[in-house]
Amino acid sequence: TITEETVELLEPYLDTEDYNLETAKKVCGNVAGLCSWTQAMAYFYGINKEILPLKANLALQEGRLAAAQMELDSAQIQLDDKQRELDEVQAMYDTAMREKQALLDDAEACRRKMNNATALIEGLGGEKLRWTTSSKNFQNQIINLVGNVLLATGFLSYSGPFNQEYRNLLLQLWKKEMNSSKIPYSKNLNLTGMLVDNATVSEWNLQGLPNDDLSIQNGIIVTKASRYPLLIDPQGQGKSWIKNKEKNSGLQVNS
């Protein structure tokens, strides 16, 4: 209930030099208490005059803070909702990107397979002619197999004692008889290629056998014929070849 007017009326007394607790105590203890109380009330009014606007402002700001806090809480709820939606959309996006990458990988793998298949088809297309030719050759070989085997066995059995010229003559005579008897055989038959492969011939050459046709034919007769071969070998080439060929087989040589 203290007003500014009351405080102004008190100020002349409050400003008096002897208006204090110590002087009042000398007069009367009750007067001293009243003096102290009036000073305190005047001081309280001055302080309260500054505090009241601050309290009002505090209440106002607290109200604003509460309203702002409510808005913040509402905004946070919306933010949390949007964050959840964003997380869901992000998860869907990541899943879609993984599926996209998987599809791209599958497409690239299919593209590689397609390219490989195309190259294979093109390669097989190029091989078709060779396979067709080979098939015809195999058919001809089947048809001519009996005559070819007959010429090969005749060569192994009867050509050994003769030179190259007479061996060729024997083959011509046999072919003439087979034509008369209508026995089919390959017109371009190579008896050496039929009876031995190139790798074996190369191995024989390394072992000392000469590389001419007669020597290779002699090697075929020695290794393929069922009869024991007799080598007439004035130059010693056949003897050297046999020693090298059979040195790991326990060959015993009597000089």
- Cβ–Cβ under 8 Å, residues 219 and 241: yes
Q: Does domain 145-235 have CATH number 1.20.920.20?
A: yes
**What local confidence, expressed as pLDDT, does residue 255 receive?**
64
pTM for this model (two decimals): 0.48
96-108 pLDDT, tens digit each: 999 999 999 999 9
CB 39 within 8 A of CB 14: yes
Instruction: Find, among 194, 101, 112, the residue nearest to 147 by Cα.
Output: 194
- Distance from C-alpha of 224 to C-alpha of 150, rounded to nearest angstrom: 15
Residue 147's CB is within 10 A of a number of other CB atoms, namely 20
Q: Per-10-residue mean pLDDT for the chain, 255 residues long?
A: 86 83 80 85 86 88 93 93 94 94 94 90 76 78 87 90 90 92 88 90 91 90 85 85 86 79
Alpha helices in the chain (DSSP H): 4-14, 21-27, 29-158, 164-180, 191-195, 198-206, 213-224, 237-245
